[in-house]
């Protein structure tokens, strides 16, 4: 899809700072002094204002890194620049990521005052030994405390992150984490299978659950959360009715979005691009924008079909070739695919092997 079809764009802003670096993370981030963070916020605001078109924006997402480590006035400044550059008055969803160790009620109240209406909190586990293995700075009690602080500040749309197939995790320990989530009752949950990225400390630590256990953990999470009233609407995402993540859903619908900050990825006018992961160049006002690919009209249509199969909405049968439809139909007896209302969609078991299915199809 393109902006020309009347779909409002989103905005993603990257905050490349953390209090410490987790061993599994390959997102662009670093530990930096407060003065560097303040300089970064100024550079980010300038970048936003320079690119501003005044157009109406659908969603805003501030991720990282760990946005909650920023100075207190950072979000007031960022949102002032955003509203100067774009029309955010009709934005449906404005999300900020945070970690439990750097978010308290004062932080959430400031976000609420700035116009944020959704929180995404990186809990990852509610089992102390697993948090220690991951190198997280918070405890399970910290996560519960931060969640309640967000509620007390008036947030009624909170997403939590959990990680699956992490060191020491068993079906029993994952059930403990899922029960903790159920007790807090967030509106949304992202549950990701840990992927070991080359070059991270975890790539030198082969102590993870094997593939069979990883699959069991994934299906356990899907079944548990479905029984608690969550819709498994995308490979790694679950939501209560009416609380699908709007910004991320736009990605899966092939919609366009601006991106700001080193290491961030964007998609505009049929071009998929990223800003070079170089903090010093960004701070000096000379960031490099690198085009990753230019999509033709056929590329866009193909990508939309691929992305739609990553969601529970699935793909329309009449949007597929005879061979593609026959292939998906052949997967129904194995429980990987289901067909309903003229659409094919993947089951949770199908989500597990979605890369293989999509590779075969497209």
pLDDT digits 0-9 by tens, 174-188: 999 999 999 999 999
Intervals of the chain under pLDDT 70: 1-6, 205-206
pLDDT the model gives residue 305:
87
**Residue among 228, 142, 141, 148 nearest 191 (CA):** 228
pLDDT the model gives residue 5:
46
pLDDT the model gives residue 206:
56
Q: Please report, to the nearest 10 degrees, the dihedral formed by the alpha carbons of residues 338, 340, 342, 346 taken in order.
A: -30
Q: How far is CA 92 from CA 58, 59, 247, in A?
A: 6, 6, 9
Largest distance between two CA atoms of the chain = 60
* This model's pTM is above 0.75: yes
Q: Where are the domains of the chain?
A: 3-252, 310-362
Alpha-carbon span 110 to 12, nearest angstrom: 20
Read off the DSSP letter of residue 27.
S
∠150-154-155 over CA atoms, to 5°?
A: 60
pLDDT digits 0-9 by tens, 21-63: 888 888 899 999 999 999 999 999 999 999 999 999 999 999 9
∠68-71-74 over CA atoms, to 5°?
A: 85
Give the β-pairing of 93-98 and 57-64: parallel
Coil, helix or strand for 22?
coil
pLDDT the model gives residue 275:
97
pLDDT the model gives residue 4:
41
Please check whether residue 245 is in contact with residue 237, taking contact to mean a CB–CB distance below 8 angstroms. Answer: yes
pLDDT the model gives residue 214:
95
pLDDT the model gives residue 192:
94
pLDDT the model gives residue 74:
96
Q: Which CATH class is domain 3-252?
A: alpha beta
- Within a 10 A sphere around the Cβ of 359, how many other Cβ atoms? 10
pLDDT the model gives residue 6:
58
Please check whether residue 21 is in contact with residue 72, taking contact to mean a CB–CB distance below 8 angstroms. Answer: no
Terminal-to-terminal C-alpha distance of the chain: 18
Alpha-carbon span 240 to 148, nearest angstrom: 18
């Amino acid at each position: 899809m393109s902006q020309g079809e009347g779909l409002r764009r989103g905005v993603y802003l990257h905050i490349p700072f953390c209090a410490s670096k987790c061993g599994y993370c390959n997102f662009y981030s670093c530990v930096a002094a407060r003065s560097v963070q303040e300089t970064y916020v100024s550079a980010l605001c300038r970048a936003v204002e320079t690119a501003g078109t005044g157009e109406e924006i659908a969603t805003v997402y501030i991720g990282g890194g760990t946005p909650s480590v920023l100075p207190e006035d950072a979000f007031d400044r960022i949102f002032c620049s955003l509203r100067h550059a774009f029309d955010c008055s009709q934005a449906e969803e404005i999300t900020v990521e945070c970690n439990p160790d750097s978010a308290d009620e004062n932080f959430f109240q400031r976000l609420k005052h700035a116009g944020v209406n959704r929180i995404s909190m990186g809990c990852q586990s509610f089992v102390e030994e697993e948090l220690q293995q991951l190198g997280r700075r918070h405890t399970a009690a910290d996560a519960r405390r931060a969640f309640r602080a967000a509620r007390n500040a008036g947030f009624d749309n909170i997403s939590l992150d959990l990680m699956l197939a992490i060191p020491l995790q068993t079906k029993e320990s994952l059930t403990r984490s899922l029960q903790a989530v159920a007790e807090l009752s967030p509106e949304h949950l992202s549950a990701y299978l840990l992927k070991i990225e080359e070059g991270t400390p975890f790539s030198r630590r082969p102590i993870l659950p094997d593939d069979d256990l990883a699959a069991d953990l994934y299906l356990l999470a899907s079944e548990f959360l479905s029984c608690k009233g969550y819709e498994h609407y995308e490979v790694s995402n679950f939501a209560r009715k009416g609380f699908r993540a709007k910004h991320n859903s736009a990605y899966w619908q092939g919609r366009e979005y601006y991106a700001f900050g080193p290491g961030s990825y964007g998609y505009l006018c049929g071009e998929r691009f990223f800003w070079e992961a170089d903090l010093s160049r960004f701070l000096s006002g000379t960031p490099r924008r690198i085009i990753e690919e230019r999509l033709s009209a056929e590329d866009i249509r193909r990508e939309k079909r691929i992305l739609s199969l990553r969601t529970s909405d699935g793909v329309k049968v009449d949007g597929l070739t005879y061979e593609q439809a026959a292939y998906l139909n052949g997967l129904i007896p194995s429980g990987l695919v289901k067909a309903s209302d003229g659409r094919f969609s993947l089951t949770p078991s199908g989500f597990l092997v979605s890369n293989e299915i999509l590779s075969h199809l497209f």
